[in-house]
């Protein structure tokens, strides 16, 4: 399951199960999907500060 959405333009990725208004998911045009944060990071993407701040668990 591809829960994580990467923005090819900004090289940022989001957690779709935890998306916020600040993510502006609807504005992302060039999308790539990942099944885990590890996979996204290995592809060179940075976690979104809004939905993947890392403060939860």
Residue 46: how many other CB atoms lie within 10 Å: 13
Q: How far is the CB of 42 from Zn ion (least distance, A)?
A: 19
Closest distance between Zn ion and the C-beta of residue 32, in Å? 14
Closer residue to Zn ion, CB minimum distance, 23 or 40? 23
Smallest gap from Cβ 57 to Zn ion, in A, equals: 16
Summarize as ranges the residues that interact with Zn ion (CB under 5 A).
14, 23, 48, 50-51
Identify the CA nearest to 6 among candidates 26, 27, 34: 34
Residue 24, both tokens:
């502006």
């Amino acid at each position: 399951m591809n829960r994580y959405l990467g923005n090819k333009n900004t090289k940022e990725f989001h957690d779709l199960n935890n998306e916020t208004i600040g993510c502006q998911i609807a504005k992302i045009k060039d999308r790539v999907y990942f099944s885990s944060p590890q996979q996204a990071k290995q592809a060179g993407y940075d976690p979104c500060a809004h939905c993947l701040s890392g403060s939860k668990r």
